[in-house]
Amino acid sequence: MVDYLEGDAVDHEPNLLFDKFDSSAIHHQVYWGLRKFGPYEKSKSRIKLAIIAPKDKLIQTKSIVSDLQSGSISILPGGMKSFFRCELELVDERVIDKPTGDAYSKIANEFVAASNPSNLDLVLVNIPKTGQYILDSPYYKVKGTLASAGFVTQMVTEATFANLKWSYLNLASGIFSKAGAIPWVLHSPMQNTDMILGISKSNILPPDEGPSQMKRYVGHVNVFDNNGKWMTFESNAEPYNPKEKKEISTKLGELVGRAAAKFRAMKKYEPKKIVLHNSKRFGKEDREAIIASLRANLSDFNVAFVTIDESHPFRLYDMSTDDGSFPRGYFAYLDRNDALLSTTGQSAAGGRRIGTPKILHISLYQPLSEFITMEEVVNQVVGLTKLDWATSMAFVREPVTIHFANEVAYLTAALTYSQWRSINGPAINSILNQRPWFL
C-alpha cells in the first residue's frame, strides 16, 4: 500500500556568506566561495602548529603543512593564503618511535608538560587508522589528553593520504576553524530565530583508577546565532543516580540558562526567540527545567523544542523523479508540527549523495506560544546542513546542531572524569569554549 502525503519544498538553496564586512561575498558552494572571496573572518593572519607523528610518517605529515602553505596543489591554488587569508607556522614537532596506544599517551603527556596552549593554535597528529568510535585508540587517548590541557587537535590517518587531493580543503577548513576563526556562515538570517542550541546528553567513563558504581551525567550545548554561526560550547559533568531523572533535567536546564546568558554577553542583546535542537525527544521534565532556567536568566523569551530524528522507519519516494528519490529540500507533512525532510537528494548545490536519501523526521513543540512555523524550521535545518566547517562538501545530511552534538557525545564517552573536569575548569574552558575543538 502506498500513502501519498502533502508536502512542499524550500524556496531556494541557501547561500553562504564569505566576508564579515561585504554582504555581496556570497556563493551557494563552500569551495567556490572560499576560492573567490576567502573566509568570513579575515583577521586570523597566522596559525601556529605543532606536529605529533610516528618516525616513518613525519616527513609525510610535514608535507601537508608545506603543501597547504605553498599552494602548489591544483585543488587549492594559492593555499591557505588565498583560501583563508592566513599563513601556517610550524613551531614544534614530536616523534613517536612505535605507533602504539601507550606511545601516543606518553608523547601527549610529554607535550603537555613542555608546552603552553596559549602559544599554539593547533596540534596536527598523525594516527593509525582505527575503526570509528573505538574508545581505546590513539585518537581518543591523544585528543583527551591534549584537550584536557587546552590543546586543540586535527587528526590525519592513512585514509587522509590515500585521497589527499580531496582532503586538503577539508584539512584547511578544519585547521582554520579550530584555530578560532569563522570560515563561512549563512548569508540570510534564519526566520523567527535569535539563538539556536544543539543539545546532547551522554555518559562519561568512570574515574581514572579502578571501576566505579557512580555513573557520570554529561550535558552539552552548542550555541549558534541566526546566521548559523557557531559561537560557543557549554557543558557540565556531574555525578548522578540514573533513577533521578528530575536531577538530570535540572542540570540540563541550568546548562541552557548559562548558554543563553553567554549569548547575551557575547551579542549584547537578549535572545527573544530560542530554538532547541535535539536528536531525541525532549521529556516533559527536561522542557519544564529548561523553561524555568530561561526565565531565571532572561526577561522575555519564547522557546521551540525541535526533535530531529534519524533512527525512524519512514521512507519517502517522489514519483515525479526518474528514480523515485526524494530531492534535497523537499519535505512531507505527517501533521501540522511533524514533517519528513530530505537533505541529501538531488540538488543544484552539488548533486545528490550516493544511495537512497535518508530522511530526517522533524517534530516541533512550542509550549508557551507559537512563533515559528514548520516551514521555517525546515528551512532552518536545510541551511544548517551547509555549516559543517570540518568539510568542504556542499552540504551534509545532518544539521550542524545535531552533528556537533553527536561529535561531543562520542568524544566525552571516551574521556576519563578527571579529563572532563579539567576541560570544564575555568583556565582550560576559556581557551576551548569558543573553538570547535571536539571535531
Residue 138 belongs to a domain with what CATH number? 3.40.50.2300
Across the beta sheet with 195-204, the strand order is: 7-9, 330-335, 338-341, 360-365, 302-309, 273-278, 195-204, 215-225, 230-240
Q: Which amino acid is at 262?
A: K
| Structural domain contains residue 436 | no
Quote the pLDDT of residue 1: 47
**Whether residues 324 and 370 fall in one domain:** yes
Cα–Cα distance measured from residue 229 to residue 231, given in angstroms and rounded to the nearest whole number: 6
**Whether residues 195 and 167 fall in one domain:** no
Rounded to an integer, the average pLDDT of 411-421 is 77
Cα–Cα distance measured from residue 366 to residue 35, given in angstroms and rounded to the nearest whole number: 41
**Whether residues 260 and 321 fall in one domain:** yes
Cα–Cα distance measured from residue 176 to residue 229, given in angstroms and rounded to the nearest whole number: 14
- CATH number of the domain at 322, please: 3.30.420.10
| Structural domain contains residue 9 | no
Percentage of the chain lying above the pLDDT 70 cut: 88
**Positions of E strands within 209-323:** 215-225, 230-240, 273-278, 302-309
Rounded to an integer, the average pLDDT of 375-395 is 90
| Structural domain contains residue 4 | no
Q: Are 347 and 329 a contacting pair, CB within 8 Å? A: yes
Quote the pLDDT of residue 279: 92
Cα–Cα distance measured from residue 432 to residue 120, given in angstroms and rounded to the nearest whole number: 12
Choice among 255-264, 286-295, 394-403 with the minimum mean pLDDT? 394-403
Cα–Cα distance measured from residue 60 to residue 23, given in angstroms and rounded to the nearest whole number: 40
Quote the pLDDT of residue 354: 47
Show Cβ contacts of residue 231 under 8 Å, excluding neighbours closer than 6 positions. 223, 224, 225, 262, 263, 266, 434
Q: At what angle do helices 417-424 and 138-147 cross, to 10 degrees?
A: 40
Quote the pLDDT of residue 210: 45
| Structural domain contains residue 254 | yes
Quote the pLDDT of residue 278: 96
Q: 3-state DSSP call for residue 341? A: strand
Cα–Cα distance measured from residue 343 to residue 305, given in angstroms and rounded to the nearest whole number: 20
Cα–Cα distance measured from residue 263 to residue 265, given in angstroms and rounded to the nearest whole number: 5
**Whether residues 162 and 197 fall in one domain:** no
Looking at per-residue pLDDT, the higher value among 240 and 32 belongs to 32
**DSSP code of residue 228:** -
Cα–Cα distance measured from residue 40 to residue 11, given in angstroms and rounded to the nearest whole number: 24
Q: Which amino acid is at 237?
A: A
**Whether residues 139 and 202 fall in one domain:** no
| Structural domain contains residue 402 | yes
Domain that holds residue 132: 42-181
- Read off the pLDDT band of 373 (50, 70, 90): very high
**Whether residues 74 and 173 fall in one domain:** yes
Looking at per-residue pLDDT, the higher value among 250 and 326 belongs to 250
Across the beta sheet with 87-96, the strand order is: 87-96, 46-54, 122-126, 153-156
**Whether residues 258 and 238 fall in one domain:** yes
**Whether residues 232 and 247 fall in one domain:** yes
**Whether residues 399 and 264 fall in one domain:** yes
Domains in the chain, number = 2
Dihedral (Cα; 178, 182, 183, 187), 10-degree rounding: 150
Which is nearest to 303 in space by CA: 335, 326, 278, 327?
A: 278
Show Cβ contacts of residue 209 under 8 Å, excluding neighbours closer than 6 positions. none
Rounded to an integer, the average pLDDT of 140-150 is 91
Which is nearest to 188 in space by CA: 398, 407, 384, 389?
A: 384
| Structural domain contains residue 175 | yes
Rounded to an integer, the average pLDDT of 344-350 is 66
Rounded to an integer, the average pLDDT of 222-249 is 83
Dump pLDDT digits (tens) for 188-231: 999 999 999 999 876 665 555 444 555 566 788 999 999 999 99
Q: How many Å separate Cα 204 from the centre of its chain?
A: 19
Q: What is the mean pLDDT of the chain?
A: 88
Cα–Cα distance measured from residue 248 to residue 256, given in angstroms and rounded to the nearest whole number: 13
**Whether residues 216 and 157 fall in one domain:** no
Quickly count helices (H) and strands (E) in the chain: 13, 16
In the block, cell 522542557 appears at 287
Q: Are 186 and 196 a contacting pair, CB within 8 Å? A: no
| Structural domain contains residue 15 | no
Q: 3-state DSSP call for residue 302? A: strand
**Whether residues 155 and 271 fall in one domain:** no
Quote the pLDDT of residue 134: 66
Answer whether residue 182 shows pLDDT above 90.
yes
**Whether residues 397 and 251 fall in one domain:** yes
Cα–Cα distance measured from residue 425 to residue 42, given in angstroms and rounded to the nearest whole number: 30
Instruction: Name 216's bridge partners.
Output: 204, 239
User: Which of 148, 181, 214 corresponds to the end of one domain?
Assistant: 181
| Structural domain contains residue 30 | no
User: Which of 154, 181, 208 corresponds to the end of one domain?
Assistant: 181
The pTM of this model reads 0.91
CA distances from 2 to 5, 9, 200, 269, 318 (A): 10, 21, 35, 50, 12
